Amino acid sequence: MRRLNRKKTLNLMKELDAFPKVPESYVETSASGGTVSLIAFTTIAFLTIMEFMVYRDTWMKYEYEVDKDFTSKLRINIDITVAMRCQYVGADVLDLAETMVASADGLIYEPVPFELTPQQKELQRMLQLIQSRLQEEHSLQDVIFKSAFKSASTALPPREDNSLQSPDACRIHGHLYVNKVAGNFHITVGKAIPHPRGHAHLAALVSHESYNFSHRIDHLSFGELIPGIINPLDGTEKIASDHNQMFQYFITVVPTKLHTYKISAETHQFSVTERERVINHAAGSHGVSGIFMKYDISSLMVTVTEEHMPFWQFLVRLCGIIGGIFSTTGILHSFGRFVAEIIFCRFRLGSYRSTSVPLPDGHTSNHLPPITDNSTH
């Protein structure tokens, strides 16, 4: 009884077989079919390789939301070299919300030569080239996001030799924390003196002839410092054409959460516009000589996430490629054989064209002669 049920089950499964087996004696092969099969297999292999490359690739997904964090501090990372001696310049931040000078104790003033070494010049040229390409092709920013990792650095390499040139510039580097409101980070003549009604700089003891605000921005970023990320002002170099010259940078900072397969951090992106002018009170160009970076915090926060194609989606696309190519090539091959048979049949019919058969009464017959057994041999 059990064997009978097993046999019925087996017969039922055979009836449900959607892939019937055709004996090899019923299969007819042809040169055209082999050619089409070779083309189909080659196409499948090529598209499979391309699909695997797409599967390995990743893309960045951008999501926007309102930034509700108003209480935390904003970190500013600075590395700027000014072509003046350190005792002549001062850097500070004016917080527009509280109208006070934020502490700039986290900055280091280091006397250095303004001229770069050949190795540093090479890195600076590379940064400037990347910046020019980023302005033309914004999609390169995704590549920078994906390639950022903690072991890389975009900072200038240290000097490889002990130059005998005396330090004629001041490198201001370090970081400081400010409130998440609009502010003004500036470098001008003299050290800053805070007082209840604002702030001032001791510039009376410095002659105007020694003013030189030619500067190089090796690095400027907001938020957590992520080596490998190239910011818009990295590698910028400005040469002053006059002693009394003002350089202004208007910066819009956007809070950004970065989540990639290599790093996860909270940082800030920013865009910048530049302006520079010579201070000439007689001509109506008023102001203070120096470097002014006025920043504003955006109310939107961007979440950048690196995404990857799921494996099941890769399998579905791969099955679609294989099945679609087999079906398409099979249809094209059948259609081609159908057309070829029609053309060849017309040629065969042309070989049996009517021939003139003489009749006993002297007339001719254009009908085809009847096919007899002898004519078939």
Q: Minimal CA–CA distance to 149: which of 232, 233, 264, 266? A: 264
Same domain, 235 and 317: no
| Per-residue pLDDT tens over the stretch 305-336 | 888 888 898 899 889 988 888 888 888 878 87
In a domain, 144, yes or no: yes
CB 83 within 8 A of CB 169: yes
Dihedral, CA of residue 18, residue 41, residue 324 and residue 23, to nearest 10? -20
**Spatial separation of the C-alpha atoms in residues 250 and 233, rounded to whole Å:** 11
Q: Minimal CA–CA distance to 304: which of 141, 151, 77? A: 141
Same domain, 49 and 79: no
pLDDT per residue, tens digit, the chain (377 aa), is 666 677 777 777 777 666 667 676 666 677 777 787 888 888 888 988 998 888 888 878 888 888 888 788 888 999 999 998 888 888 888 877 665 555 566 788 989 888 888 888 888 888 888 777 777 766 666 666 666 655 455 556 555 555 556 788 899 998 888 888 888 898 888 777 766 666 667 666 777 777 888 999 988 999 888 777 788 888 889 998 888 889 999 999 999 888 887 778 788 888 889 998 888 777 777 778 889 999 998 888 888 888 888 889 889 988 998 888 888 888 887 887 778 778 777 666 665 554 455 555 555 555 545 544 544 44
Q: What are phi and psi of 56, to 5 degrees?
A: -75, -25
- DSSP secondary structure string for all residues of 131-168: HHHHHH-TTHHHHHHHH--TT---SPPPPSS---SPP-
In a domain, 114, yes or no: yes
| Per-residue pLDDT tens over the stretch 38-80 | 888 888 889 889 988 888 888 788 888 888 887 888 889 999 9
When divided into structural domains, the chain yields a total of 2
For strands 73-82 and 215-223, give the pairing: antiparallel
Same domain, 51 and 110: no
Same domain, 90 and 238: yes
Q: Minimal CA–CA distance to 109: which of 83, 139, 89? A: 89
Same domain, 52 and 75: no
Same domain, 114 and 232: yes
Q: Minimal CA–CA distance to 271: which of 301, 291, 297? A: 297
**Spatial separation of the C-alpha atoms in residues 115 and 369, rounded to whole Å:** 106
In a domain, 259, yes or no: no
For strands 264-278 and 357-358, give the pairing: unpaired
In a domain, 171, yes or no: yes
Report, in this order, helix, strand and coil percent for the chain, each rounded to 5.
35, 35, 35
DSSP state for residue 190 in the 8-state scheme: S
Using the structure block, give the residue that is written with the tokens 């907001």.
222
Same domain, 40 and 136: no
Same domain, 48 and 100: no
Same domain, 103 and 48: no
**Spatial separation of the C-alpha atoms in residues 32 and 47, rounded to whole Å:** 23
**Spatial separation of the C-alpha atoms in residues 150 and 143, rounded to whole Å:** 16
Same domain, 238 and 145: yes
Q: What are phi and psi of 345, to 5 degrees?
A: -65, -35
In a domain, 225, yes or no: yes
Q: What is the pLDDT of residue 249?
A: 95
In a domain, 251, yes or no: no
In a domain, 120, yes or no: yes
Same domain, 80 and 197: yes
Residue 10, helix vs strand vs coil: helix
Same domain, 43 and 139: no
Range of the domain at 313: 33-58+309-328
In a domain, 263, yes or no: no
